[in-house]
Amino acid sequence: MSMREQVVKWIEMKDSMESRIDEIETMLSETGFGLHGGLIDDEGYPISDVDKIFEIRSARNELAMLKNDHIDIMLKIEKGLESCFADDEETKEETKKTTENTTEPPKQPDSDIDTPEDSNNSDLSSQKHKNNTQHFCKVNQVQFGSPAEESGLKAGDLIFSFGYANYSNHNNLKLIRDVVVANEDHPIDVVIERNSNTLELRLTPKKWKGNGLLGCHLVPV
């Protein structure tokens, strides 16, 4: 199984865990005892329903294990995604080296005039730098009190890199979604341009009172 296939499998497992976590939390909430409440009746005595006690304790134990497993699977997804894109870069570099070694450079005519190197060679040598200095999306909106606002992100900011997502690999901004999902409650380095100045921010995707984990709207440019 390739790393890409493994990452897809992990994401499916993550989705299944999150669905089960929601089910258990809903069930515990409906019982009236919640996630951490004591198993006592309205008068302060332990409830006498043995089956209910067993059901609630089992659900709480399963919930705790699922949350621990969820943390582990998110870390695996993050490392797997990094590995996939590292492999892509390595493959591109190997292809470039192979091409350079098997292609004979054209002979230059004798001349007393110094000529600059071919612009294509210059573009290739600076491609990696270009990926991190060319913005690929724009912050269209930032919601008040959101994780995005806490990080200092503002509407109009142009994004050069979002974690390991950049101009060369963002795949129509889909990689940003993967970065966010893989880094919930973990800080992400975000490099932006604002008023012709380059700034580095730290954005931590997390649940808040609004929708999503960021609280901002990004659009491609």
Q: How far apart are CA 20 and CA 163, in angstroms?
A: 29
Task: Tell me the per-residue pLDDT of 107-116, one tens digit each, with 9 for 90 and over.
Answer: 444 433 333 4
Q: What percent of the chain has pLDDT over 70?
A: 70
Q: Render the burial of 174-202: b for 16+ CB within 10 Å, e for the rest.
A: ebbebbbbbbeeeebebbbbeeeeeeebe
Mean pLDDT (the chain, rounded) = 78
- Comparing 105 with 31, the larger pLDDT belongs to 31
- pTM listed for this prediction: 0.44
Residue 219: name the closest of 135, 101, 146 by CA.
135
Q: How many CB atoms lie within 10 A of CB 76?
A: 18
What three-state secondary structure class fits 108? coil
Q: Among the ranges 85-89, 95-99, 181-185, which has the highest mean pLDDT value?
A: 181-185
The one-letter amino acid at 155: A
Cα distance from N-terminal residue to C-terminal residue, the chain: 35
The CATH superfamily holding the domain 129-220 is PDZ domain (2.30.42.10)
Which two three-digit tokens encode residue 118? 């071919």
Q: How far apart are CA 168 and CA 174, in angstroms?
A: 12
Residue 76: name the closest of 12, 19, 25 by CA.
12
Asked if 218 contacts 138 with a C-beta cutoff of 8 angstroms, the reply is yes
Task: Tell me the per-residue pLDDT of 22-64, one tens digit each, with 9 for 90 and over.
Answer: 888 888 777 766 666 666 666 666 666 657 777 878 888 888 8
The pLDDT value given to residue 91: 56
- Comparing 125 with 171, the larger pLDDT belongs to 171
